[in-house]
Structure 1
Amino acid sequence: MDSSLFTLRSSLKVTLLGTGTSGGVPSLGCHCKVCGSNDPRDKRMRCVALIESDTTRVLIDCGPDIRQQLMPLPFKPLDAILLTHIHYDHVGGIDDLRPFSVFGPIRLYGDKKTCEHVRQIMPYCFGEHLYPGVPKLELHDAEPHVPLHIGNLTIVPIQVMHGKMPILGFRIGSFAYITDMKTIGDGELPYLEGVETLVVNALRFEKEHHSHQLVYEAIEFARRIGAKRTYITHVCHHIGLYDEAQRRMPEGVTLAYDGEVICCPQPPTV
């Protein structure tokens, strides 16, 4: 691969606004020790990440908790929203971004299928005669391996498999964000060479799932691509209490939590 695709002129700040699975944690109606925990690290909203360079702000996904997740942050423009796939826990908060329309159109990037489905679930946002106040949305196709140039970021989409469903992960410099993955094709691995910091999904430790990795699978994947730091996201309450689960992680692997900030130094531009 051409290494110049993956370089960046400045460091990245990655804020994990949500690290939970589709139902969030605590889970409705559950009285397990995790759902009843007072440790804030055991409370998880749906998966969203905010990526910031010195000039550019990008969201990865926009789930149904997005209003609550963005409320504590400075109200500043978002240069793009990168969508991994169409499932509700990853797109259910798009309408809540309407206040950002004061800065101009809200630019959404996803694969062709995701963009088509956004049009289907939000038809009131597209067409000639829009209802006053609807979010101003722009849909942009993102294709695996075709770089997106957003602000001073070069973002390379990666294709992974969510069960039988192809979805997108994203690489920015030496950082990669992948969620809802079960498997990945060998042809994608060259696009992850040189990744040092990885955020990747793992639902729980035990009990196989048809479309999500378990912790051991995420660890094997991280080792396969040579990541130096790995953060586990998109977890459910079956992962266990934070402190207990973290003690089960090998060196270099961290159970992520909501609000965690990761600083990713980037290599100089080649």
Structure 2
Amino acid sequence: MNITFLGTGTSQGVPVIGCNCEVCRSLDFRDKRLRTSIHLLVDHKNIVIDTGPDFRQQMLREDITDLDAVVYTHEHKDHTAGLDDIRPYNFKHQKDLPIFGRNTVIDQIKQEFSYIFSANSYPGVPRVVVNEINNSPFYVEGIPFIPIEVYHHKLPVFGFRIKDFTYITDANHIADEELEKIYGTKVLVLNALRLKPHISHFTLEEAINLIKKIKPERAFLTHISHQMGIHRKAEKLLPEGIHLAHDGLKINL
């Protein structure tokens, strides 16, 4: 499995418009964070988790010329807004693209992108095959996915375990029965917004404590805001085996 971090930033991205803080003025490429998303290459299948507003830019940057499916964690705009840009993959492969999400995600997509689902759709609109998922394991192009329900304040969000890799974003609570699905994972990606408490995201300390409980071989933090501080300084706060992810980072598993 090859994993590429397409984006590791919050809903506003980093730098934030109009902000002059040290992070937003940083020239370090690791402090430039697009909206959170990852690309998986598993058994010759290209799968993206979440298509945020920066989806087109991310796919061009990483030169991802094939896409077999999109899986959604939840319905917030910073995770769904780039769906329209799947069209080149429709055109290239002359097929509809499978998308996977829980009913609330599918409902939001059908509302936001109503033109995709119109009975008299305009030529050239994105073509999708909708797959509604729930708490049960499912397959994406033959690849087994185990959904992990977490909470983003009061909103249920899906994380996913794919073989020995687990990806969780936009969370601040995971029930014990859902944690059981994660134990034994080799690589864990978990959101860590900032140092100070937040109503709907893990802080750096909370994320570290949870990672220590799960004990993966390696862990990477994502969905990082400019309030975390610049990358090179924040990285020094982390225990061995835990790292801040950055846009473009690649992991082989």
TM-score (norm: length of structure 2): 0.96
1:95 to 2:84 alignment: yes
1:76 to 2:60 alignment: no
Q: Which of 97, 108, 111 is 1:106 aligned to? A: 97
CA apart distance, 1:75: 4.8
Distance 1:263 1:55 in 2: 14
Distance 2:231 2:60 in 1: 25
1:134 to 2:125 alignment: yes
Aligned pairs (5 A) from 1:1-270:
12-102=1-91, 103=93, 104-144=95-135, 146-205=136-195, 207-264=196-253
- Does the 8 Å contact 1:56/1:150 carry over to 2? no
The one of the two structures with greater contact order (alpha-carbon pairs below 8 A, sep at least 6) is 1
Question: Number of residues paired by the alignment?
Answer: 251
More deviation in 73-82 or 30-39? Answer: 73-82
- Structure 1 residues 75, 217: CA separation in 2 closer, same or farther (over 3 Å shift)? closer
Structure 1: 5+ residue stretches without partners:
1-11, 265-270
CA apart distance, 1:183: 0.2
CA apart distance, 1:225: 1.7
SS at match of 2:104: helix
- Does the 8 Å contact 1:55/1:151 carry over to 2? no
- Structure 1 residues 119, 257: CA separation in 2 closer, same or farther (over 3 Å shift)? same
Structure 2: 5+ residue stretches without partners:
none
Distance 2:222 2:121 in 1: 37
Counterpart of 1:7 in structure 2 is none
Letter in 2 for 1:19: T
SS at match of 2:250: strand
CA apart distance, 1:154: 0.9
CA apart distance, 1:152: 4.2
SS at match of 1:139: strand
Identity of aligned residues (%): 41
CA apart distance, 1:55: 1.3
Letter in 2 for 1:167: V
- Does the 8 Å contact 1:67/1:93 carry over to 2? yes
CA apart distance, 1:99: 1.2
SS at match of 2:84: helix
Over residues 27-80 of structure 1, what are the superposed CA-to-partner deviations in whole Å (9 max), with x where a residue is unaligned? Answer: 000001110011000100000100002411100000000111001334533121
TM-score (norm: length of structure 1): 0.90
